């Protein structure tokens, strides 16, 4: 991680869970982090908690459903920090569980806005930030999911699954375009199994069957996913993690 010390990272969904764990581990390793979240007060609390760390946290409020909020966030970084974004961690995610056959398109749109379109927008703005500063050796990490690899028979979960399949395809598309352009920037997906976070605690009204299944499902903790991110970032420049899939030891999916 030494090569990233003093560099700047952007982490979306930084207010809790996986995002907060990633922010903690990055600043412990001397990386400065812009933590983007709708609940920026939580990121401010995290900043106070990590005050003695090697890196610094910059809380930034943004609604990732809105492209203009993302664009303005990167403009703020350029105007106030005047440094390129070397690391982007697309972590923010939204799950609204519901039947597919009578789905509410408003819910589908919200999930695709946050889980897919925001990922693409952040990648675009991140790459633009590096280009402005003649940097071409950054690292993009997209937090995906085991359901980005296969469709699991789980009530109310299929549209969320579709968003994670989309992230996998977008990530691979960016990888191929970066290679074509001769960039040394890496792009990685980290695909965890079930993680005990607020993602599903805030998933809205889903069936009792789903709720009961989640209660007993073997699960990872947020720091487990953060450890995977740090591992991918720690490898030598000539080594890239394409996709890192991690699950609880006894998870059956």
Tell me which of 158, 160, 194, 206 is the catalytic residue: 160
Do residues 127 and 47 make contact, with C-beta atoms less than 8 angstroms apart? Answer: no
Mean pLDDT over each residue of the chain, to the nearest integer: 92
Percent of the chain with pLDDT over 90: 80
Q: pLDDT tens digits for 72-131?
A: 999 999 999 999 999 999 999 998 888 899 889 999 999 999 999 999 999 999 999 999
In angstroms, how far is CA 139 from the centroid of its own chain? 13
In 3D space, the residue among 83, 71, 73 whose CA is nearest the CA of residue 31 turns out to be 83
Q: 205 lies in a domain?
A: yes
Enter the tokens of residue 35. 């933590």
Burial class of 2 by CB neighbour count within 10 A (0 to 12, 13 to 18, 19+): exposed
Higher pLDDT among residues 245 and 219, named by residue: 245
Q: 62 lies in a domain?
A: yes
Do residues 171 and 116 make contact, with C-beta atoms less than 8 angstroms apart? Answer: no
Mean pLDDT along residues 15-43: 96
pLDDT band at 208 (very low <50, low <70, confident <90, very high): low
Buried b (16+ CB within 10 A) or exposed e, 142-170: bbbbbbbbeeeebebbbbbbbbbbbbbeb
Enter the tokens of residue 242. 């394409």
Q: 253 lies in a domain?
A: no
In 3D space, the residue among 9, 10, 249 whose CA is nearest the CA of residue 118 turns out to be 10
Percent of the chain with pLDDT over 70: 92
Known catalytic residue: 58?
Answer: no
Q: 154 lies in a domain?
A: yes
Q: 252 lies in a domain?
A: no
- Number of H-type helices and E-type strands within the chain: 9, 7
In angstroms, how far is CA 144 from the centroid of its own chain? 7
Enter the tokens of residue 217. 């499902």
Do residues 119 and 187 make contact, with C-beta atoms less than 8 angstroms apart? Answer: no
At residue 212, the pLDDT reads: 57
Beta-sheet strands, E only, within the chain: 8-12, 32-37, 57-61, 85-90, 139-143, 186-192, 243-246
> Is residue 252 scored above 90 in pLDDT?
no
Q: 126 lies in a domain?
A: yes
In the chain the first and final C-alpha atoms are separated, in Å, by 32
pLDDT band at 217 (very low <50, low <70, confident <90, very high): confident
At residue 215, the pLDDT reads: 63
Q: Answer positive or negative: Cα dihedral of 136, 27, 114, 38.
A: negative
pTM (two decimals): 0.92
Distance separating alpha carbons of residues 143 and 192, to the nearest angstrom: 8
Which CA distances in Å does 121 have to 67, 71, 72? Answer: 7, 8, 11
* Beta pairing partners, 180: none
Q: Which domain holds residue 31?
A: 2-246
* Phi, psi dihedral angles at 2 (to 5 degrees): -60, -35
Q: 28 lies in a domain?
A: yes
**How many domains is the chain built from?**
1
At residue 222, the pLDDT reads: 94
Q: 251 lies in a domain?
A: no
Question: Any idea what the CATH number is for the domain that residue 27 is in?
Answer: 3.40.50.720
Least confident among 8-12, 149-153, 154-158, 238-242: 154-158
């Amino acid at each position: 991680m030494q090569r990233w010390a003093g560099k700047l990272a952007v982490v979306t969904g930084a207010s809790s869970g996986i995002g907060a764990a990633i922010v903690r581990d990055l600043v412990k390793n001397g990386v400065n982090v812009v933590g983007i979240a709708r609940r920026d007060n939580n990121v401010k609390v995290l900043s106070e908690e990590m005050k003695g760390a090697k890196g610094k946290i910059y809380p930034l409020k943004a609604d990732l459903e809105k492209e203009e909020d993302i664009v303005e966030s990167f403009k703020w970084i350029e105007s106030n920090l005047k440094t390129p974004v070397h690391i982007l961690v697309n972590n923010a995610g939204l799950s609204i569980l519901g039947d597919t056959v009578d789905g509410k398109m408003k819910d589908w749109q919200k999930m695709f806005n946050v889980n897919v379109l925001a990922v693409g927008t952040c990648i675009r703005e991140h790459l633009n930030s590096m280009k402005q500063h003649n940097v071409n050796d950054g690292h993009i990490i997209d937090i995906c999911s085991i359901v980005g690899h296969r469709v699991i028979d789980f009530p109310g979960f299929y549209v969320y699954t579709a968003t994670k399949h989309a992230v996998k395809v977008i990530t691979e598309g960016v990888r191929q375009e970066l290679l074509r352009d001769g960039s040394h920037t890496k792009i990685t997906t980290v695909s965890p199994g079930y993680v005990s976070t607020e993602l599903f605690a805030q998933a809205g009204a889903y069936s009792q069957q789903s709720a009961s299944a989640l209660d007993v499902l073997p699960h990872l903790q947020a720091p487990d996913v953060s450890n995977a991110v740090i591992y991918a970032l720690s490898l030598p420049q000539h080594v890239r993690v394409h996709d890192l899939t991690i699950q609880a030891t006894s998870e059956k999916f």
